[in-house]
Structure 1
Amino acid sequence: MILLLSDLHLPNESSPLREGFLRFLAGPARRAQAVYILGDLFEYWVGDDVGLEDYAPEIAALRALTASGVAVFFMAGNRDFLVGQRFARATGVRIVDDPLVVELGGVATLLSHGDLLCSDDRGYQRWRRLAHSRLAQWLFLRLPKARRHAIAGGLRRQSGAGKRNKPAAIMDVNAQTVQATLRRHGVTRLIHGHTHRPADHLLRAGTRRATRLVLADWHEDRMEYLAVDAAQGCVRRRLDAPSV
């Protein structure tokens, strides 16, 4: 069984979301062959030197999971693309590129955070190219910790305001981009997050039928992950409520 999840947006303060993720790591994840986290695990990550302290319980729980023999893979999202090798060494998690083709349940599947597929949002794509440049990251990571937190918080508020002023369609994936991406990688199944629009979509990639599965973003009343195996296919599951 392979488990996939994304868009938890764990804050750096106490939260039911953080408690839920710890339950996931200690429960369903322990019974999995592998876990894929497809970005935006954290609300924002301003560098390994800060994040390893801010999220110490999650770091320890991930280390315990990988030490138990479960393979865990992390793909950066638009909020936590600064997760680096110190995080990988501390947790035993393998950082992978976006996009990535893997075999899940006997089906070649393309995994992505999903923001690259939102090609209609040209303003965001320009920002993404800048934020992922080595020079911009090098400069940002040399700022004082408090300054980095302040910038990240400001960007988060700016992003929220910007979304309210954008047409909804712009913030979703572009159908032509999805089809071209599937054809380029030679697969008929795509799993991604980012858009916060969980659904199963049927489409065509050239002459072949294809499937696009959008992972759910987490909320206090809905902490969902996707389970994949050869027998059952892709099944959406919700994390059980904590026992009283």
Structure 2
Amino acid sequence: MSIPEGKKVYFASDNHLGAPTPAQSLPREKKFVAWLDTIKKDAAALFLLGDLFDFWFEYSTVVPKGFTRTLGKLAEISDSGIPIYYFVGNHDLWMHGYFEDELNIPVFHGPQEFEMNGISFFVGHGDGLGPHDKGYKRMKKLFTNPVAKWFFRWLHPDIGVRLAQYFSVKNKLISGDDDAKFLGEEKEWLVQYAKRKLETRHYDYFVFGHRHLPLNIALNEKSKYLNLGDWIHYFTYAVFDGEALSLKEYKD
């Protein structure tokens, strides 16, 4: 991917729209949409690294109610020719066609490698990676099991979505909110994961979400790990100007 002069690539993650209630998340959604408006003028691409919604499940003909402002703005940006790349998180694992068909946004279900202006990136949501997250790894196997998804689809959306929203907000094991404290690099499992990846291949930047903590950590003299934080407490994002990647905070 070649980034034209004067253009930038933006990264954001973990909005959890709809939580803890639609009314309470609405101001955050409006703030996010306002940010999307500001980046349109110089964005070469936009990467959304998952958990845009606190819960998202696509039935054959139904998607969760709400988020009109966000979906409309993403459609506007995509229609203008700015590519958007979406990575599913642990709250929106069940994306299967809606973003691709309606918004022309490719959806990735695992980390991907990118090269921009000769600089290498390893990008993903971050859930289930590294030596930690064992409880979630077990739950993810259940959530992504085709038989379990088939049974869930037979629930009426009014029941299925409300039930999932309840557990999404209440279950700390799923949300990971109880882990949102920095306890040192040696306990940051995504840092450990990135260091292990570097043993076999070089990447200039590892970019993840999921941790809800804005972090910028040097892994060695040439590689860095960035966590995007969230749009609940920090309103942080990353921007690549064609040469370097940095974390920033949006203040409207």
TM-score by length of 1: 0.84
Q: Residue 193 in 1 paired to residue 212 in 2?
A: no
Change (3 A) 1:142 1:87: farther
Match of 2:16 in 1: 9
List per-residue Cα deviations over 1:106-149 (Å, max 9, x = no partner): 31110010112243221111111221222222322232112212
* C-alpha distance in structure 2 between counterparts of 1:185 and 1:159, whole Å: 36
How much is the aligned-residue C-alpha RMSD, in angstroms? 2.7
Superposed displacement of residue 210, structure 1:
2.2
Q: Residue 147 in 1 paired to residue 159 in 2?
A: yes
**TM alignment of 1:198-209, pairs within 5 A:** 198-204=214-220, 209=222
Change (3 A) 1:135 1:55: same
**TM alignment of 1:1-244, pairs within 5 A:** 1-11=8-18, 13-14=22-23, 15-47=26-58, 49-51=61-63, 53-160=65-172, 172-173=188-189, 175-184=191-200, 186-204=202-220, 209-219=222-232, 222-231=234-243, 233-241=244-252
Residue-pair matches, total: 236
Q: Which aligned runs of 4 or more in structure 1 are off by greater than 6 angstroms?
A: 164-171
**Structure 2 unpaired stretches of 5+:** 1-7
Report the residue type matching 1:58 in the other structure: T
Equivalent residues of 1:5, 1:224 under 8 A apart: yes
Identity %, equivalent residues: 22
Higher helix share: 1
**Structure 1 unpaired stretches of 5+:** none
Report the residue type matching 2:32 in the other structure: F
* C-alpha distance in structure 1 between counterparts of 2:46 and 2:179, whole Å: 33
Equivalent residues of 1:8, 1:217 under 8 A apart: yes
TM-score by length of 2: 0.82
* C-alpha distance in structure 2 between counterparts of 1:166 and 1:225, whole Å: 20
* C-alpha distance in structure 2 between counterparts of 1:100 and 1:216, whole Å: 19
Name the SS of the counterpart of 1:116 in structure 2.
coil
List per-residue Cα deviations over 1:168-211 (Å, max 9, x = no partner): 6699425543322344554242010101121111124xxx7421
Superposed displacement of residue 164, structure 1:
7.7
Equivalent residues of 1:121, 1:171 under 8 A apart: no
